[in-house]
């Protein structure tokens, strides 16, 4: 009898696992790599694997929610384009169609990229922008606090992570002080990114009249579809975008990582309006408030050609295309001499991976820099497996040792650069809500390249011979992590 019961239980478990597998195949049919990864988890961890899938993977309902958001975002964007002061943007459509908006000798081929970002990612091309670069958190945070102190009308922020530590308290105190003065303060946080930050931490801001909204509160553990954007706009005159969140960690004040290397940009000029537009779209989705475009939050576009060219491009489940992925692909394919990449996580999809292989085999100087000390071990081992293959085709790979490099940067040919929130991984390409600034300015791109060269001094180069001598245990970890990489 016990043997019959055991056989019955085993048969039931087998049948249930097949049913679980069918459910996964049905819901994940959009992406075969994700489907196979989940099937492996369910097979190797019966019952528990499916519970993990229910908590972390099953989010098909969210696609319908985001489809509604996409429709409203499109309506907001069309209204923005029709605003009286935005005649320049409407005229730009015809110019971009001719693919001759960027008239820089030696960079004419980048007009195709401007065209792509405009018609795929709604990234209008603006030219009268002044950019300030930050390569670490302390300087950016002080600049941000100073601009907050100077605010007269409104402060709009959205951050993926806000820690309830000393740095977070300084920001909340500064925002609360301005709200008490009558300045409109709106703060959008991500539910999962701030899951460890008590909501009472934001009460001083709310008590002073500031508003708080939360993107997809984590009623269950939901690691997918997170708002990973980091944007701040003050009075419509200055904006911030980049990789830095809010907390001691990002100022290099914690023992876990020590020095924190990142890239962030302060923008003044027409591109600020597009950062504000992105904030308004996300705010209207998350809050009970609907902000009208005629409320004075969006300055008119001038674009007089006297500054850096910038396109603000967003992507996520609320966009019809994988806009930032396509822009990265276009940058890599347009490179003629060099491609410099900095990313904390290097888990590319097949298209990016093959594009980098082709670039290296074409004689282009391809360099990739990731942290030597990972914050997510599985992602790190998966990254090493991809880098190992790229070493075979001549890509130069660096492991940053000074602290933790969190910068999301691509620079090609000293002509165009991308700085923003999107990592070089599938999660940023297809699951998270991201926002990047694509910069067309020789001076800025050279500065970014110079900093990259400087960072190499704090790296160890990953040599092919050393990589081939790695232990069998490391090879196993890399293989398993790469198989699971669509889920990381």
228 tagged catalytic: yes
- Catalytic residue chosen out of the listed positions 178, 228, 274, 322: 228
- Catalytic residue chosen out of the listed positions 69, 140, 178, 230: 230
φ/ψ of 243, rounded to 5, equals: -95, -10
**Of 352, 479, 482, residue with least CA distance to 423:** 352
- Catalytic residue chosen out of the listed positions 408, 430, 441, 455: 408
Strands 416-420 and 231-234 turn out to be unpaired
170 tagged catalytic: no
Q: What residues pair up with 234 in beta bridges, in sequence order?
A: 155, 238
Question: What is the Cα Rg of the chain in Å?
Answer: 23
235 tagged catalytic: yes
Q: Give residues with Cβ within 8 angstroms of 442, minimum separation 6.
A: 104, 414, 415
Residue 296 — left, alpha, or beta (φ > 0 → left; ψ -120 to 50 → alpha)?
A: left
408 tagged catalytic: yes
- Catalytic residue chosen out of the listed positions 349, 413, 441, 455: 413
**Two tokens, residue 204:** 């001083």
φ/ψ of 356, rounded to 5, equals: -70, -40
The CA angle 289-294-297, to the nearest 5 degrees, is 75
Q: Give residues with Cβ within 8 angstroms of 4, minimum separation 6.
A: none
Q: Cβ(196)–Cβ(220) under 8 Å?
A: no
- Catalytic residue chosen out of the listed positions 156, 322, 406, 430: 406
109 tagged catalytic: no
**Of 279, 425, 420, 452, residue with least CA distance to 345:** 425
130 tagged catalytic: no
- Catalytic residue chosen out of the listed positions 190, 235, 441, 455: 235
For 97-153, strand residue ranges (E) read 125-136
Q: Cβ(259)–Cβ(266) under 8 Å?
A: no
Catalytic machinery residues: 228, 230, 235, 406, 408, 413
């Amino acid at each position: 009898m016990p043997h019959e019961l055991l056989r019955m239980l085993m048969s039931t478990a087998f049948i249930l696992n097949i049913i679980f597998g069918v459910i996964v195949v049905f819901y994940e049919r959009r992406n075969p790599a994700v489907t196979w990864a989940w099937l492996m988890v369910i097979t190797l961890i019966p019952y528990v694997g499916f519970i993990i899938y229910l908590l972390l993977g099953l989010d098909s309902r969210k696609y319908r929610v985001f489809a509604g958001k996409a429709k409203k975002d499109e309506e907001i964007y069309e209204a923005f384009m029709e605003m009286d002061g935005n005649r320049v943007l409407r005229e730009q459509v015809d110019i971009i169609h001719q693919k001759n908006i960027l008239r820089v000798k030696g960079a004419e081929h980048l007009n195709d990229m401007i065209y792509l970002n405009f018609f795929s990612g709604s990234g209008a091309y603006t030219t009268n922008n002044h950019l300030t670069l930050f390569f670490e958190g302390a300087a950016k945070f002080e600049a941000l606090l100073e601009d907050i102190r100077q605010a007269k009308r409104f402060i709009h922020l959205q951050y993926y992570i806000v820690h309830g530590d000393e740095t977070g308290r300084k920001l909340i105190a500064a925002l609360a002080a301005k709200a008490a003065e009558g300045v409109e303060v709106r703060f959008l946080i991500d539910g999962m990114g701030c899951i460890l930050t008590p909501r009472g931490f934001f009460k001083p801001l709310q008590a002073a009249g500031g508003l708080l909204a939360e993107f997809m509160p984590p009623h269950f553990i939901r690691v997918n579809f997170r708002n990973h954007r980091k944007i701040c706009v003050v009075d419509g005159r200055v904006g911030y975008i980049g990789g830095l969140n809010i907390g001691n960690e990002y100022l290099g004040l914690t023992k876990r990582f020590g020095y924190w290397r990142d890239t962030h940009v302060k923008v003044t000029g027409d591109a600020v309006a597009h950062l504000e537009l992105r904030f308004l779209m996300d705010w209207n989705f998350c809050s009970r408030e609907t902000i009208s475009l005629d409320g004075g939050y969006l300055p008119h576009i001038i674009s007089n050609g006297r500054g850096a060219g910038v396109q603000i491009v967003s992507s996520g489940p609320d966009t019809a295309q994988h806009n930032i992925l396509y822009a990265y692909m276009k940058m890599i394919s347009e490179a003629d001499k060099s491609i410099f990449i900095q990313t904390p996580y290097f888990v590319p999809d097949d298209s990016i991976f093959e594009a980098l292989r082709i670039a290296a085999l074409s004689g282009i100087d391809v360099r990739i820099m990731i942290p030597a000390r990972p914050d997510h071990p599985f992602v790190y081992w998966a990254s090493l497996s991809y880098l190992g293959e790229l070493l075979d085709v001549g890509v130069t790979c660096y492991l940053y040792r000074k602290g933790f490099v969190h910068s999301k940067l691509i620079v090609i040919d000293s002509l165009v650069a991308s700085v923003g929130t999107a990592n070089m991984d599938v999660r940023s390409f297809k699951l998270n809500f991201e926002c990047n600034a694509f910069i067309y300015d020789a001076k800025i791109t050279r500065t970014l390249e110079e900093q990259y060269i400087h960072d190499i001094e704090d790296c160890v180069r990953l040599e092919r011979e050393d990589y081939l001598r790695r232990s069998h245990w490391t090879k196993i970890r890399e293989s398993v992590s790469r198989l699971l990489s669509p889920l990381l």
